[in-house]
Structure 1
């Protein structure tokens, strides 16, 4: 039977209190003072009742109970001469009394009041070890040697026992702890203040459960431990979910880490190790992790609830950030943070190659637009050439033939001269047409390759007499991919035309060699006394050279210095076809 301590001097309605406590199923222990009370008697007390009468000063008795090692159990002051709404009752409550009641000598009414107080205490409301706790939290008091003195119904059900009396009979170390040594280790540590730990308990049927225990020791005035009191919560389901999350993190192909609410890194999977180059044990906190990776925000940052209420000195990454791997490599990583009550799950996706691909696609699109402009420019040039040359010559020939028809009978000699002029203009038209066709794509390029086509270009320049072209090559009869040959020919043609227009030198050196898997073309004119032609990106001819090279995955360097002429160096890979 559970004990009730009655602190009442002789004559202060002792018997009324004793009868009321017995009606509540308690075993009253009546004492005049606490000095002679044993440790076992103190530890086994479920409720302390101070009986106040005319000859008793309850304030002194309440103080004795609080300092005498019984502060953990509910304390009731039974007022005889005054009611529970008096000023004195308020004073007693402020001193630590859990309840003040008036009994007026009626044991039944007093027992009813006591039952209400004990029921409230059993559910945790107003209890010193768990004020405001609901019945889903177990609450207990136990002896130092490991026996329950008191437990609420929630703990009885949590451990699977049929009734409180059955639970009070168990040995806590043997019957409740999965590993009895764990209880001994906990009791060997700090026990005077509430501290929360997670331990493995077992139910009556042997099924293990994980519980979160917050407990402390209750001592008497001499510092001896009278009992332990604590609050218990079954966290088995939460722990199971945490294990599932941890397993999902460990085996996830996505780089993932779990961060506790205080910034500690709880879990760090292999994918994250592969992404960052750091092992799970090399960084303890998110701040250390961020510092070592040199996190730098990139572009817009996403808002994340994970940083709201975070401890000062650390923050979760969000959006896209640049990181520096352990080996020094720079990567662009997109972070996604999912927050939960006890921490955060941080997922990391390496988007470096994706961003490079997007940037390359943008460059290709811009290049395609420029190539289209080049093609349009070529069409315009052809139109001008046809209009100013070929069409004019044909028009002149037609006019001469018309004059011939008009003069043929009246002035045959003059008509003959018109006919000869018309034939000459037709011949020039044919020559111009062939020149235009050769400029677009000379037949010799298909017949003899790039070497024969450049030789044709050299001969054509010599016939014009405007500039001398010197050509050196080491390709021999070897044919190159069609796209490469066409690109090289157009670049050489553009460079020679550019030198003819702007250079003061009358000689251009063209070198075409193969170096490994690259074709290297260099075109150099001797320059002159004046400044060379402009080489800025806006110069259409030179920009066309750059873009033709880029279209095949190559490069073009164009340099010009006063007095030294223009140097154009183009490198084209043999294995690359145009990007489409």
Structure 2
């Protein structure tokens, strides 16, 4: 016991770091110097798995050398940049019967007397290059990060740390082990990686979470780095704060919606107050003249009155379409009234199905109504459909609106004058943070699908 205590005291007195671990990765001992270097207390490290504490070590040279030492029984040595401490460290790995012991030091020049000059100079150049790399990263105005394919942080710069509310890059690295933890919706990063890029850097716009839990909109690039064999070893790229751009875009869309609503209201009132009243008055006048006209005029007069009656119906339908959405009883009821007005007198059968209430914020509900209105008007004008089905559903973390018809299909976005409706639908969906797809094969009908994300949790989890 005395000799064991003396050995531990001797290890604690070493200037370099020392730790030992079992073959399964369980840490058995950490000396004082290494605790200070990595910022971990003895009780936080011992008994924990090495790769749980340092997930970014998986798939790197340190894992390969540890495995090689345990399998071969031979001493291994490597020098590698440590993201956690932000500098190069030398590790010497000594295998034992039931554990490995690792000595960690700065690997400073001149410490090893028999190190060849050529290698020493190469290491010096590598360290200088690493310092210049860090200086460049930290001088950037935009954020920068590099991660392993599964999201473990390898390096971040000071701008990203400041953007996310951390004191510096070291604090961010120590607080967050995976880039997935930075996103309000962790699936955003996964969706970005899965997107088609044709060999170009992938780009995503998503919300990240600041240290205090508040969201920040970012535009992030994900550029893959590949090994000589073509395997992706990491993703790196810029992170730009676009919160102000998003807010400005939201305010612009709100202003456009107010202007559009006002214009539609004025037009609906103009149609209702003048043309409709005049046409109704003309119909009444013709009804009064009929008894005074010769019998030969009765049939043509009835035909004129019928045409005027159809005109009144069409103008009343137009008033319904132009009127602002009335959603007091829910989006489904509003869409049902809208569909009946759009297709009144057309012979097209319309079905609207969905729950009366959905967990959508008011601006998203209004946006969904406007997109559905455009889809229904397009179907009335162009589809020549016999059936139109409108469905609303709460699916996972989104509300999905579908407008489907059995018409002629062939719909596609166009920038031609008078054909901007579908383009505006895409733009409106993007402004709501949603996605819009249009499936319209020739002679195959048209299906418009809008997916709108629900509000994020009001009380986000506290940062680590």
Give the alignment's TM-score, normalised by structure 2: 0.42
Structure (1 or 2) with the larger CA radius of gyration: 1
Q: Bigger relative contact order, structure 1 or 2, given CA contacts below 8 A and separation 6+?
A: 2
